[in-house]
Amino acid sequence: MDKIRVAAVQMVSGLSPQKNIETMGRLVKQAAQCGADWVLLPEYWVLMGANDTDKLALAEPLGGGRFQTALSETAKACGVVLFGGTVPLQSREAGKVMNTLLVYGRDGVRTGLYHKMHLFGFSGLGERYAEADTIRAGWEVPHLSAEGVPVAAGICYDVRFPEFFRRQLPFDVLMLPAAFTHTTGKAHWELLLRARAVENQCYVVAAAQGGLHENGRRTFGHSMIVDPWGDVLDVLPEGEGIVTADIDANRLNSVRSRLPALKHRVLDAV
């Protein structure tokens, strides 16, 4: 790795899967035209349903379905490595789906995946969320790579669990699709992303949902790219669009050599 141009796509996904597919394709194409080599989509890009159970009817078997086909074809058409946000996949548990990040190479071939492990739950201020009602938790810590670069992955709520990313070391880039609520995002989103970048001395690429959705839910947005020193390189507060920045090997190595915190670790992750 010398320099890799990365882009995070921000969406305000609605009730129509087809419209969401079209928006996804348009924004990935825009990112590619801006020189992006890698593109990350947000969590739940395929649907922000009227009810949490709406995604059950859309669940696809791994390896087939319109969402996976759209991701594969878009990656190939745009010539990018596409980190495909999350797609609902069929699970072995009735009434639940897997919330899955799928990764596609420039040739459109799937190269990796990760099923979300930490399931969000929150109640207060007139809101209630319980992902465990409709999502089956993943069971395997990801160890991904893209074009020879070691990559960590998490999905939204995972960002609150630093030990989860320690288990994925070594990596140079952390990819995080999300759909943070406005309430929790305003309080913690940037804080958590910058903390994960600093403690792991890595780039963090975070793609979010960002705005008022057709179902009445409001997500926080602020898709951003953070460098290993914790500096925010680009951010989009709200609305659909993209953020871009370069993953710079020289910058990464400089931070790690000047402050070799990863080499000073005493306790291993368990």
**159-172 confidence digits (pLDDT tens):** 999 999 999 999 99
* H helical segments located in the chain: 17-33, 66-78, 162-166, 182-200, 249-258
Is the per-residue pLDDT at 94 higher than 80? yes
Q: Which CATH class is domain 3-263?
A: alpha beta
The pLDDT-based confidence of 269 (bands split at 50, 70, 90) is low
Give the pLDDT confidence score for residue 125 in this predicted structure.
66
Please classify residue 109 by burial: count the beta carbons closer than 10 Å to its beta carbon, then call 0-12 exposed, 13-18 middle and 19+ buried: exposed
Give the pLDDT confidence score for residue 193 in this predicted structure.
98
pTM of the complete model = 0.96
Q: Where are the domains of the chain?
A: 3-263
Give the pLDDT confidence score for residue 1 in this predicted structure.
66
The pLDDT-based confidence of 211 (bands split at 50, 70, 90) is very high
The pLDDT-based confidence of 2 (bands split at 50, 70, 90) is confident
CA distances to 36, 75, 137, 216 from 133, in Å = 37, 32, 10, 20
Q: Percent of the chain beyond pLDDT 70? A: 98
What residues are annotated to the active site?
A: 43, 116, 156
Is the per-residue pLDDT at 173 higher than 60? yes
Is the per-residue pLDDT at 140 higher than 80? yes
The pLDDT-based confidence of 122 (bands split at 50, 70, 90) is confident
Q: Rounded to whole angstroms, how far apart are CA atoms 94 and 115?
A: 17
Is the per-residue pLDDT at 119 higher than 70? yes
Which residue type is seen at 73? Answer: E
Collapsing DSSP to helix, strand or coil, 195 comes out as helix
Is the per-residue pLDDT at 268 higher than 90? no
What is the average pLDDT across 132-143?
Answer: 96
Q: Treating both helix axes as pointing N-terminal to C-terminal, what angle do 17-33 and 66-78 enclose, rounded to 10 degrees?
A: 20
Is the per-residue pLDDT at 270 higher than 60? no
What is the average pLDDT across 57-81?
Answer: 98
Is the per-residue pLDDT at 238 higher than 90? yes
The pLDDT-based confidence of 121 (bands split at 50, 70, 90) is confident
What is the average pLDDT across 46-75?
Answer: 96
